[in-house]
Amino acid sequence: MLTPERMLVDLIRLNTVNPPGNETLVARYLKDVCDSAGIENEIIEGEQGRGNFFARLGPQNGEQRLLFLVHSDVVPVGEGWECDPFSGEMRGQLIYGRGARDCKGLLAAELYALLRLAAEQVPLQGTLLFAATADEEQGGRCGVRYLLDRCPQKLRADFAVNEGGEEPVVLGGQTFFFFQVGEKGTAWSRLQTRGKACHGSVPTLGENAVTKMATALHALTAYRAEIILIPEVRYLLQELGRAAGLDVSPYAPVAVETVDRLLDGLAAIDRDFAEGLRSMTRMTISPNVVQGGNKTNIVPDACTADIDIRLLPGEDEDYVRRALRDCIGDAADVDVDIFNYYPPTFSTADSPHYYLLEQVTAQVAGREITCLPHISPGATDSRFLRDAGIPCYGIGHMIPELDREGRATIHGKNERIDIPSLHLKADFLYALARAYL
């Protein structure tokens, strides 16, 4: 049987950078592998070349249904790589290449678990579904969204496992594994300022839309969003702070007034990790694209700024509009348009499915661990499943002592994953399917 690392190398060598995607390359590879193993499967294209792959193991109408979800597209590579990003090069225990961590490593692990169950002829009482979908990196139009519109029954499950979990950390000698139970929503917004054009040599005859925008953006950078601690995040911070030896009382929960002090303490240990946690406690606003003016000697009469805004559960479009207006005021010459909105999504951690995830993780990790729920600042395809009524949990299972710097290579150069962590993912998924089905 193919090993997880062999399949990952094969998958990395299939260029599925999105755009354009070309995910059918991966779908055909998966079909060949599953055909050889006698596993029922099919390919459904959302568009030409945008293949979604499905496989099923166990009875067609099993009482219980578990879905392994993963996406097969990857982001562009950029400059500065030390190796060919589509080589799947092995250096010791590391496999390099675009998608190694996001998300072809998980794809190889899920596929291996499926193949192992089939090879061992495990008598499943329920149905294991495997879906490798297209277009996650560009919003899922040809992938999960297309499938939920056209053939939702193919994704229907009691619960799903997907990407999205934070990678494990060790604090105070205690090892923490994480499950993503929710995602912040998006409210990408566009500000537009208007002015009056004139010759740049006499600027006082006009009204400069760029300087108006600069005033609005300065106000946004000074904005301090309301801190909101949903119960899962409060519990997460409480446990991490205690393990790190910070001043966290076991008798009083983390409070709005003290959370930033706690996060600053965690940032002194691991800043990247702590800032991810901070974003789970408030709405974030980031002006990322500004366009105004078209010639140096013309005072611009229009300027736009695109703002990346991420919302917590309980916040919505009206909340965003109020926050922006509180910041920039009600000036008639600053228009606000929310052009890309998706609400926050959430799957409860108080469920038998979540408890099973914890139990299986403790079983395969081979150590005394603590599992914690969290919400993601970013978005995955899990949001679409949750909206369709399917609980979804993101994993990030890795061996925490190996290659901690590898986390920063996701969407960056020299993306990589270590082989022992790849096997840990595969062992977890195999054990989860056996335990549930």
Output the DSSP codes for 326-390.
HHH---TTEEEEEEEEE--EE--SSSHHHHHHHHHHHHHH-S-EEEEEEEESS--THHHHHHTT-
Q: Cβ distance 165 to 395 under 8 Å?
A: yes
Q: Which of 5, 73, 167, 418 is catalytic?
A: 73
The rounded distance, in Å, linking the Cα atoms of 148 and 425 is 27
Q: Residue 32 catalytic?
A: no
The rounded distance, in Å, linking the Cα atoms of 352 and 331 is 51
Q: Cβ distance 141 to 46 under 8 Å?
A: yes
In this structure, are strands 302-311 and 284-292 parallel, antiparallel, or unpaired? antiparallel
Q: Residue 136 catalytic?
A: yes
Burial class (CB in 10 A: 0-12, 13-18, 19+), 321: middle
Our CA angle for 269, 271, 276, nearest 5°, is: 125
| Helical residues (DSSP H) of 95-253, grouped into ranges | 104-119, 144-150, 209-221, 231-243
In this structure, are strands 65-71 and 159-162 parallel, antiparallel, or unpaired? parallel
Write down the residue that tokens 């939920």 correspond to. 148
Q: What backbone torsions phi and psi does residue 27 show, to the nearest 5 degrees?
A: -60, -40
What per-residue string of b and e applies to 343-377 under the rule 16 or more CB within 10 Å gives b?
Answer: bbbbbebeeebbebbbebbeebbeeebbbbbbbbb
Using DSSP, state whether 118 is helix, strand or coil.
Answer: helix
Distances in Å between the Cα of 316 and the Cα atoms of 11, 254, 324, 345 are 39, 25, 13, 11
Q: Which of 136, 315, 381, 427 is catalytic?
A: 136
Catalytic positions: 73, 136
